[in-house]
Amino acid sequence: MGYVLGIDVGSGFSKAVLFEKGAEVSRAVMPSGGSYADTAQKIVAAVLREADLTKTNISRAIATGYGASAVDFADRTITDISCHAAGIHHLYPTVRTVVDIGSQFTRAMRLDGGGRVTNFVQNEKCAGGSGKFLQVIARILHIELEEISALSLTSTRPVDFTTGCAVFAESEAVSRISEGATPADIVAGVHKAMAAKIVNLIIRLGLEEDCAVTGGGAKDIGLVRTVEAELGVSVLVPEEPQLSAALGAALSGM
């Protein structure tokens, strides 16, 4: 078999991984934008450009994610839950609990020893436990989303949010700012509110170690540390946590 492409078209970001002979050749991450079909074409072009290849070199393409149906060149599609599991199992074979913190949804999954999903739970329609919450707060504080990650670690008095809803938390954050709360304390409070929802999902599922966190939310070190504190255990985070589903898709294609 030649090169295998795994492409994960998420609601917020799209990711792609190119594999050959069981080894990663190239990778790419970019915002999904308004057209999933156009983004799929762009991200494939990016991974091929990095590897100095063309589409003719791809022997198989596997799509997953929210916009997988828009990848009209894919040989088949696979659920992103299965792909997250396959990707994490490849990286960390001892993991039995996976938490995926995406742009719109957060899910907790239980894996068996072979990396197959045996159970999973997902947050409700509310975005309070997902990356959308962080995007809302970053906009209110007039900071880049990437700045949020370490900001909460400097907090001395985390704000207590009375709501876990991203919509109502927006107005509450504005009120806290007017009361003199610092950006660091507001972000730390957001992390606490998000962590409470995430940990609740894990409790519903039943925690079994090792535990790993994936998705864009896993790049927020402040959120990860808060989840660890709430859980009382350390969690594993891949070097590029947004790529786990794309990685799993590529592995499934092999």
Opening angle at CA 217, ends 88 and 84, nearest 5: 25
What the block records as the tokens of 246 is 């794309």
Closest CA to 161 of 139, 204, 128: 128
Each residue's pLDDT tens digit, 212-238: 999 988 999 999 999 999 999 999 999
| Average pLDDT over the chain, rounded to an integer | 90
Terminal-residue alpha carbon distance, the chain: 8
Mean pLDDT of 236-252: 96
**Of the ranges 32-41, 151-160, 245-254, which one carries the lowest mean pLDDT score?**
151-160
What per-residue confidence (pLDDT) applies to 171?
Answer: 79
Residue 125 pLDDT > 70, yes or no?
Answer: no
What per-residue confidence (pLDDT) applies to 116?
Answer: 95
Closest CA to 162 of 189, 182, 137, 184: 189
The domains found in the chain, sorted by start residue, are 3-82+244-253 (3.30.420.40), 94-237 (3.30.420.40)
- Say how far apart CA 89 and CA 83 lie, in whole Å: 10
Each residue's pLDDT tens digit, 168-185: 777 788 888 888 889 899
Say if CB 71 and CB 16 are below 8 A apart.
no
The pair phi, psi for residue 48, each rounded to 5°, is -70, -40
Say if CB 208 and CB 51 are below 8 A apart.
no
Say if CB 251 and CB 87 are below 8 A apart.
yes
Each residue's pLDDT tens digit, 97-113: 999 998 778 899 999 99
What per-residue confidence (pLDDT) applies to 54?
Answer: 94
What is the bridge-based pairing of β-strands 3-9 and 58-64?
parallel
**Of the ranges 3-17, 64-78, 139-153, which one carries the lowest mean pLDDT score?**
139-153
What per-residue confidence (pLDDT) applies to 130?
Answer: 63
Mean pLDDT of 194-223: 92
Q: What is the pTM of this model?
A: 0.89
Each residue's pLDDT tens digit, 128-151: 556 677 888 888 888 887 888 888
Give the model's confidence band at 60: pLDDT under 50 very low, under 70 low, under 90 confident, else very high. very high
Mean pLDDT of 49-62: 95
179 CB neighbour count, 10 Å cutoff: 8
Sign of CA dihedral 116, 120, 125, 129: negative
What per-residue confidence (pLDDT) applies to 254?
Answer: 86
The H-assigned helical ranges of 165-182 are: 166-178
Angle between helices 80-91 and 244-253 (to 10 degrees): 90
- Beta carbons within 8 Å of 56's beta carbon, 6+ residues apart: none
Residue 121 pLDDT > 90, yes or no?
Answer: yes
